[in-house]
Amino acid sequence: MPGYEIIDQKEKKQINKIFDENNGVLFAHGFENLRKKYFVRDFEENIKKTFKVNHALCVSSGTAAIKIALRSIGVKRGDHVITQSFNFIATVEAILDIGAKPIITKIDQSLNLCPNDLIKKISKKTKAVIAVHMLGFSCNLEEILKICKKNKIPLIEDNCEAIGAKYKKKYLGTVADIGVFSFDFAKNITTGEGGAILTNKKNYYEICKQYHDHGHITKIGRPRGEDNVKIPGFNYRMTELQAAVGMVQLKKLKKIINENKKRYLQLQKLNKFFGERYIFKDTTPSYDTFIFEVKEKKQIKKILEILQKNKIGTKNLPGAIKWHFAGSWKHIFSQKQIKQIYNCKIKLNKCIAIPVLLKKSVNFYKKITSEIIKYC
């Protein structure tokens, strides 16, 4: 379920603290004489504790987080960055915006980055790999980590769509060299817009912190106007309003995952009749989207009619595939590149993604599951 479904008086109360206790300071830096606390800094500390990571930095969006992460590991103009064909366009846009060239891989049975194709796509120009955990499910991290380590290539986890999911009891986004979250309005926890960067490597964190804030080193005890600078940066900062909401949403994450699972388990009964999306060993999804493969076009049409009748629709597949499949991005990729991933489109066109929503009861999901099974 997206976090917006459970926004209530707790978020409102937290926002009011900015005005009642902090004199309405909405900026996450300076103004020490007017404020009692820094909400963004507190949110970052809570992220570190919740996800058990050494460093966390809140930024303006998940897209910005990807770009900043690329900058921190030294990706430059002309470098190659590998990512997967089933994705969201923001990942590729971030690669382009930093001046690098996106290289696209096929997908595996989990619908995420295919390790076998990753090996084929690595070249001397490859400076980073971005593995995306699409719609709540981990990619094959075990194999991808081995490949990146062997080739000495930094791995970024784009975990914008799987906050709360795990790999070997570690939260996704904390396993590789650096991870990114999105807190946009459709994500598991939301701040409206916003994102975060998580890493255990101090050198990456320091570059991220400087780059997202015009190059500010932010030395303790030094006035902001007299701060030193080492690198040019940009403004990708999070506001206090966003952080105030995020602090409350983060406390609701366990409830969100637990409630997701109850509904997901009802939908999982469809796996007896249709192709099942693969879950890798030692991984736990965030259960916010159920994806299954339907081979017959008539069945696809009927299932979509059932979902429409029940006023739930689909999530990304098939409705928004244009924004989530690299083969649709003719303004970015050549015809040759698109042809290489054509089989991925065939597979994705057979998939239906049902959103898991809190405002729909467990019995509701039991009902639509029964309706689909009855038809088939």
pLDDT greater than 80 at residue 59: yes
pLDDT score at 262? 97
| Kind plus residue range of the DSSP H or E element containing 339 | helix 335-340
Spatial contact of 156 and 183, defined as CB atoms under 8 Å apart = no
Is the per-residue pLDDT at 304 higher than 80? yes
CA-CA distance, 130 to 38, in Å (whole number)? 32
Is pLDDT of 261 > 90? Answer: yes
Give yes or no for residue 50 having a pLDDT over 80. yes
Going across the sheet that includes 275-276, the strands are 275-276, 289-293, 351-355
> How far is the first Cα of the chain from the last one, in angstroms, to the nearest whole number?
27
Does 317 share its domain with 341? Answer: yes
Mean predicted confidence (pLDDT) in 10-27: 96
Q: Tell me the residue ranges of DSSP E strands in the chain.
A: 55-59, 80-84, 101-105, 126-132, 155-158, 166-167, 170-171, 178-182, 195-199, 275-276, 283-284, 289-293, 351-355
Residue 355 pairs in a beta bridge with 289
Q: Look up the CATH number of the domain holding residue 296.
A: 3.90.1150.10
Per DSSP, 226 falls in state: G
Per-residue pLDDT of 311-361, as tens digits, reads: 999 999 998 999 999 999 999 999 999 999 999 999 999 999 999 999 999
Residue 46: what pLDDT? 98
What per-residue confidence (pLDDT) applies to 27?
A: 92
**Does 226 have pLDDT greater than 80?**
no
Using the 3D structure, point to which of 217, 251, 285 is the last residue of a domain: 251
Specify whether 230 is located in the same domain as 286: no
Do residues 222 and 263 both lie within one domain? no
3-state secondary structure of 290: strand
Residue 361's domain comprises 253-375
Q: How far is CA 150 from CA 22, 147, 153, 365, in A?
A: 50, 5, 8, 44
What was the pLDDT predicted at 32? 86
Average pLDDT over residues 238-247: 98
334 shares a domain with 203 = no
Q: Are residues 320 and 173 in the same domain?
A: no
CA trace torsion 39, 40, 41, 44 (10° rounding): 120
Judge whether 75 and 103 are in contact, CB under 8 Å. Answer: no
Residues 154-173 pLDDT 10s: 999 999 999 999 999 999 99
Dist. CA 80–CA 103, nearest whole Å: 7
**Mean pLDDT confidence for 169-182:** 98
Q: Are residues 235 and 289 in the same domain?
A: no
Dump the DSSP string for 60-124: SBHHHHHHHHHHHTT--TT-EEEEESBS-HHHHHHHHHTT-EEEEE-B-TTSSB-HHHHHHH--T
Q: What is the mean pLDDT of residues 123-148?
A: 98
Q: How many structural domains does the chain have?
A: 2
Query: What tokens were used for 123?
Result: 């070249």
Asked if pLDDT for residue 220 goes beyond 80, the answer is: no
Quote the pLDDT of residue 110.
96
Query: Last residue of a domain, which of 206, 228, 251?
Result: 251
Q: How confident is the model at residue 134 (pLDDT cuts 50, 70, 90)?
A: very high
Same domain, 180 and 311: no
What residues contact 323, with CB distance under 8 A and at least 6 apart? 88, 89, 316
Are 267 and 119 in a shared domain?
Answer: no
Residues 306 and 237 in one domain: no
Examine the pLDDT at 221 and tell me if it is beyond 90: no
Provide the mean pLDDT of the chain: 96
pLDDT-based confidence at 227, cuts 50/70/90? Answer: confident
- pLDDT at site 228: 86
Give the mean model confidence (pLDDT) for residues 39-62.
98
pLDDT (tens digit per residue) in 80-95 = 999 999 999 999 999 9
Four-residue CA torsion sign, 177, 183, 189, 191: positive
275 shares its domain with 222: no
Determine the pLDDT at residue 223. 80
Stretch 31-36: mean pLDDT = 90
Alpha helices in 151-296 (DSSP H): 202-211, 240-251, 253-267
Query: Same structural domain for residues 297 and 191?
Result: no
Residue 222: the pLDDT is: 77
> Residue 32 maps to which CATH number?
3.40.640.10
Chosen domain end from 251, 276, 303: 251
Same domain, 59 and 104: yes
Closest by CA to 358, choosing from 190, 160, 131, 191, is 190
The per-residue pLDDT for 2 is 84
